[in-house]
Structure 1
């Protein structure tokens, strides 16, 4: 384990009395992210149970003629890239089709639809489906790179199901290329550069070795390793690293297949906990020569009112909360990798 990476945490205890006069001591654990030094809090879990949402009825209402991503509409209702960027107008790998976002978040914003299926449950995502979609993203980014040779910030992003902010049920991802980094990208770049200057080492390579075979380690397939974040951004927070892969040019079809197998194990972990919706980001560093990395967190509602999983603490204090203990979630996920 790297002695330069520090996993710091502290406990705060709140003492109060229940309605029947019984003394209660309740712990909040504050964990410090080893890279950014941002904190997150693991709070008391009242035994919250989650239920996988079922969108079968909504799928019937929104599919077919009502969905621009369904097969009868996708080639007539979605836009095309300029020929200078994508000569065919769209990128297609198997059933995956990538085209421009009508409402772009950045200079280049592609949307990739996974397959012809309108509603795909987590357990129904196949290795081929996932691999094709990410290969389509890779092809698009390589073509953009020929036009934008430097100074761009790249990511692949996935909102799955409405809890995540996904506005269309048909499974799709966003791929972004911008002249300006997001706060997430800026934070990673700034702190990894500082770590490199102070230690002479690559932070993510050291993190991989610090976590491997530890209590937050989940598993790996090929060049892709998975572990749970020490300081989580949600009730689960899965991190992945493409070892020694700093550019999409070095990612092979086999690497995408290995990544897909890891995602399937994470999907199974969510399902076992009664979760389904999630946000995922894959950061591709470009000029910074960092390993390709990413994070994956579930999105959910809490309680009978369908309460959002984000409140003032996350939205305004910018501090994440988790009911779940990272080491326990990692142990659960490890079973699905074996």
Structure 2
């Protein structure tokens, strides 16, 4: 069957108040795996300005933050001993503990460091590695005590635009018996895919050969831009040959962190700072799909601070973007090339 990149153009014709004809194009793109559509809107003239939380960091940090050193050991809960005898999991500066208000059967929170406000450019390779290695450690401990859990993700809401309620940077680990809608749909479609390889390996090969949305690769971790994006940018990372969370090595996390820093630079150049990210992993030794990650920016529009989500995304479940994927990928390639120099 193979991978197909399908799109169609819709044209809207109207007139200005002088009677001059105007035509505007909307491009509808279809996800090559799920068939879901997203829409590209052209020439909106929108610019994006990254938020600065310096003043808010002063107001919310230290004694007022449950994740800062003053409160971390006093206010955060601890795991049962079958997860860890120490109550929490530590890796470098990263500390992982239970989520007080869980989203799933198992739900851990990982803080990156003691620093309350970490700007995108301040995230180091080691900070990222340690946080994700702590998350991996937690998932592996879950696997030892709960054989019913099959669906795992590592998720990141960065800054308030993303829905993050605490400024102190952290990620969340979710492990459940039940898949999210995204996990269920991607799993179903990927398992049904018929090609020379599994779906994500096929996607890697064709995107690399086309070089239109291709960004680059570091070690076993490859990056590209989604053909039918879920937001203004939609970065897809594939851990080639890594089918379960146990397959990811420390070197893989190092390569992932370096690539992620290049993605951060790409967003910064466009005026984005906040984002949502999800890494989809498996605990099933029979898994036949490589681990993958998706990252989209979050933002507000204009002087009113208008949300980046309206009825189209929230109720019609149709993503909109003002950015052309191929143009974003070209920006990202320049930043990615720097990490391989």
Structure 2 residue corresponding to 1:234, chosen from 231, 234, 255? 231
SS of match in other structure, 1:212: helix
1:70: which partner in 2? 68
Structure 1 residue corresponding to 2:16, chosen from 15, 18, 24? 18
Q: Deviations over 1:161-206 (max 9, x none)?
A: 00000000000000000110000100111101111xx446311110
Structure 1 residue corresponding to 2:198, chosen from 198, 202, 215? 202
Larger mean CA deviation between 205-214 and 218-227 belongs to 205-214
Q: Deviations over 1:30-55 (max 9, x none)?
A: 00000000000001232211111000
Taking the aligned partners of 2:331 and 2:90, their CA distance within structure 1 comes to 36
1:332: which partner in 2? 331
| Paired residues for 1:1-338 under 5 Å | 4-195=2-193, 198-199=194-195, 201-213=197-209, 214-287=211-284, 288-338=287-337
Taking the aligned partners of 2:206 and 2:336, their CA distance within structure 1 comes to 19
Q: Decide whether aligned partners of structure 1 residues 62 and 151 sit closer, same or farther in structure 2, where only a CA change above 3 A counts.
A: closer
Taking the aligned partners of 1:8 and 1:87, their CA distance within structure 2 comes to 52
Gaps of 5+ in 1: none
SS of match in other structure, 1:50: coil
Alpha-carbon shift at residue 71 of structure 1 (Å): 1.1
Taking the aligned partners of 1:145 and 1:200, their CA distance within structure 2 comes to 31
SS of match in other structure, 1:257: helix
SS of match in other structure, 1:98: strand
Alpha-carbon shift at residue 20 of structure 1 (Å): 2.4
2:8–2:28 contact (8 Å) kept in structure 1 = yes
1:45–1:324 contact (8 Å) kept in structure 2 = no
2:196–2:202 contact (8 Å) kept in structure 1 = no
| Number of equivalenced pairs | 334
SS of match in other structure, 1:336: helix
Q: Deviations over 1:12-32 (max 9, x none)?
A: 000011122221110000000
SS of match in other structure, 1:47: coil
Larger mean CA deviation between 71-80 and 97-106 belongs to 71-80
1:235–1:297 contact (8 Å) kept in structure 2 = yes
Alpha-carbon shift at residue 285 of structure 1 (Å): 2.6
2:216–2:224 contact (8 Å) kept in structure 1 = yes
Alpha-carbon shift at residue 151 of structure 1 (Å): 4.0
- Give TM-score scaled by structure 2 length: 0.96
Taking the aligned partners of 1:152 and 1:211, their CA distance within structure 2 comes to 29
SS of match in other structure, 1:167: coil
Alpha-carbon shift at residue 310 of structure 1 (Å): 0.4
Q: Deviations over 1:230-261 (max 9, x none)?
A: 00000000000000001121211111010000
Taking the aligned partners of 2:279 and 2:271, their CA distance within structure 1 comes to 24
Taking the aligned partners of 2:197 and 2:10, their CA distance within structure 1 comes to 34
SS of match in other structure, 1:28: strand
CA-based RMSD: 1.1
Alpha-carbon shift at residue 87 of structure 1 (Å): 2.2
Q: Deviations over 1:278-314 (max 9, x none)?
A: 0000000332331010110000001111000000000
Taking the aligned partners of 2:119 and 2:196, their CA distance within structure 1 comes to 44
